[in-house]
Every structure is written in C-alpha cells, then in structure tokens.
Amino acid sequence: DVKVTQSSRYLVKRTGEKVFLECVQDMDHENMFWYRQDPGLGLRLIYFSYDVKMKEKGDIPEGYSVSREKKERFSLILESASTNQTSMYLCASSSQGQLTDTQYFGPGTRLTVL
C-alpha cells in the first residue's frame, strides 16, 4: 500500500520561529511536492523536487525553503514563521516519466503561527 507520511498532523508555532515540516514516502518515487491549502484558494505549489538535492520553485516559494538529502524525504522549512503562513500543508509524491503517474498525498499538517 502506498504511503506518504508527514511528521505532524497539527503544529503550533510562534512568530519568528524556525519550523521544519517533514515528509517521507516509501514508494521509491522520484518526485516530491509541497503544497499549501487555504480556504477558497485551493492547493498552491510551494516547491517540488524531481531528484535528490534538486529543487524547483513553485508558485509561492517566498518565505519557504526545502531540503532533499535522501530520495524518500522532503523537508519544508519556514526560516522565520509569520502569521500569514498559518495554513494546511500537504506533501505529495509521484514516480517519474508517465503522464498517468498519480500524485499520492500525505495526511497534511495544520500549522498555526501565533
């Protein structure tokens, strides 16, 4: 069974803190993605990676960075959390090469920045 896990379901942090969101997949997928979801805005792409140590900016990368040191793990970093980063964060992974390759999602992390 396919599995994408995220380190926390709920997280509360203070403004200015450094925040790490971890995502791990066990499907040997090449591609990994970070999205944020806000009411009325749908899902928006923050960063994605198609290989270890590779990263590409998505639509809203400002205020975020990522790290992919191992194939199975993709971390999203908020260098200095702000209240406008309060959101639901979803990680996904997919294999590479086919148009039909489905993205599989983790359960999401609801982050609140106070």
Partner 1 sequence: AQKITQTQPGMFVQEKEAVTLDCTYDTSDQSYGLFWYKQPSSGEMIFLIYQGSYDEQNATEGRYSLNFQKARKSANLVISASQLGDSAMYFCAMTLGGTGNTPLVFGKGTRLSVIA
How far is CA 80 from each of CA 30, 39, 74, 83, 110, rounded to the nearest angstrom? 29, 23, 19, 10, 17
Return the structure tokens found at 71: 């194939």
Residues of this chain that interact with partner 1 (CB under 8 A) are: 9, 31, 33, 35, 40-45, 48, 50, 58, 88, 90, 92, 94-108, 110
Return the structure tokens found at 35: 């999205």
In the complex with partner 1, which residue's Cβ is closer, 75 or 94?
A: 94
Question: Least Å distance between CB 1 and partner 1?
Answer: 13
Question: Least Å distance between CB 80 and partner 1?
Answer: 26
Question: Least Å distance between CB 65 and partner 1?
Answer: 17
Question: Least Å distance between CB 78 and partner 1?
Answer: 19
Query: Alpha-carbon distance 39 to 6, whole Å?
Result: 21
In the complex with partner 1, which residue's Cβ is closer, 52 or 80?
A: 52
- Specify the DSSP class assigned to residue 102: P
In the complex with partner 1, which residue's Cβ is closer, 16 or 41?
A: 41
